Structure 1
Amino acid sequence: MHEPQPPDRVARIQADWRRERPDLDVSPQGVIGRLHRLADHLTDELRLVYGHYGLSEGEFDVLCALRRAGEPYERAPGELAAHTMVTTGAMTKRVDSLERAGLVTRRRSDDDQRGRIVALTQPGRELIDRAFTDHMRNERRLLSLLTPTESTALEGLLTTWLSHVENAAPSGSS
């Protein structure tokens, strides 16, 4: 007789580790491993929509940050970096690419002639409005695999956990 197989890959990995290292508690892998695998699947699904519009994930983020800014749909590069959680160097590459595509423009700041302002062009706004509509449709499709109650519960748990992680002292500090 064969032993029944664990329900998914993470459970099989945990079972292997429990057999090989019974001295360790591998239960955290159940959450972290599944979140990691889920994040990979979700990223792949989300990138399909970005790609449909000829955008990378980073370019989509920049256009969204500009669109969320409201009229006149512009931000300084440092502000964009803060709203998309990337370095200013990575931001420069993204803005260069979007500018070449005619989706954004760069100009000197009225307040500080050394500063720059990145703004959505009309084609950029039209593109991100279409892309974001499809992005929300795609996210809704992905969440529809859960019941509304499960989705709400998961959002609450993730919000709490993320808050704890982001407000915790850095690893290795006393």
Structure 2
Amino acid sequence: MADAVDAIIAMWAREKPELDAAPMGIVGRISRVSRLLDKELKDFFAGYGLEFWEFDVLATLRRSGAPYELSAGALLKTAMVTSGAITNRVDRMETKGLVQRVRDPGDRRGVRIRLTPAGLELIDKLVPLHVANERRLLAALGDDERGTLADLLRALATGLGDTSLG
């Protein structure tokens, strides 16, 4: 079965037969699949009144363990955005009643971001639905293929330096 990238590779083969365009096929497919997945995830979260980044903040706080809070700096490291963007995001989520700012008991000047009971309830409801949605998105692949793809993407990610959350 051919995809859109096959057509691009065929055009290059016709125009520049000496060019080995195989890397274009891999990077192009990763890029196209990323955009398709982003759209699917955006649509999924919109159905629950959330942006993907809001889910990401909720999930990050939830997986941090009780009391489901992190310093703004720790949250910033996982989000890969500017400190101003984190402040804006927390403000918006605080307005929705999903998170709250609490004083850091270990640092009088510090603030921690904590899930509210409503935020905890929402993320606990959404995580299984999100995983089921991701399973649906990967349904074109069998179990072995998903495992192989995960291994290959891990090798590529670590080769490009993505080895930690910070």
Question: Normalising by structure 1, what TM-score?
Answer: 0.87
**Number of equivalences:** 163
Query: Which one of the candidate residues 61, 69, 84 is aligned to 1:89?
Result: 84
CA deviation after TM superposition for structure 1 residue 16, in Å: 1.4
CA deviation after TM superposition for structure 1 residue 80, in Å: 0.6
CA deviation after TM superposition for structure 1 residue 10, in Å: 0.7
Aligned to 2:111: 116
Larger Rg: 1
Distance of 1:31 and 1:98 partners within structure 2: 37
Amino acid corresponding to residue 47 of structure 2 in structure 1? H
Report percent identity of matched pairs.
Answer: 44
Aligned to 1:22: 17
Distance of 1:89 and 1:15 partners within structure 2: 45
Distance of 1:167 and 1:127 partners within structure 2: 29
CA deviation after TM superposition for structure 1 residue 35, in Å: 0.9
Aligned pair in 2 of structure 1 residues 29, 65: CA closer, same or farther (>3 Å)? same
Question: Normalising by structure 2, what TM-score?
Answer: 0.91
Aligned to 1:138: 133
Amino acid corresponding to residue 133 of structure 2 in structure 1? N
The answer as to whether partners of 1:49 and 1:131 remain within 8 angstroms in 2 is: no
Are 2:16 and 1:36 aligned?
Answer: no
Distance of 1:89 and 1:166 partners within structure 2: 25
Local SS of the residue matching 1:146: coil
Amino acid corresponding to residue 25 of structure 2 in structure 1? G
Aligned to 2:98: 103
1:46-88 Cα shifts (integer Å, max 9, x gaps)? 1222111211111111111110111101001110111233222
Aligned pair in 2 of structure 1 residues 167, 117: CA closer, same or farther (>3 Å)? closer
Q: Give the 4+ runs in structure 1 shifted more than 3 A.
A: none
Amino acid corresponding to residue 63 of structure 2 in structure 1? R
CA deviation after TM superposition for structure 1 residue 136, in Å: 0.6
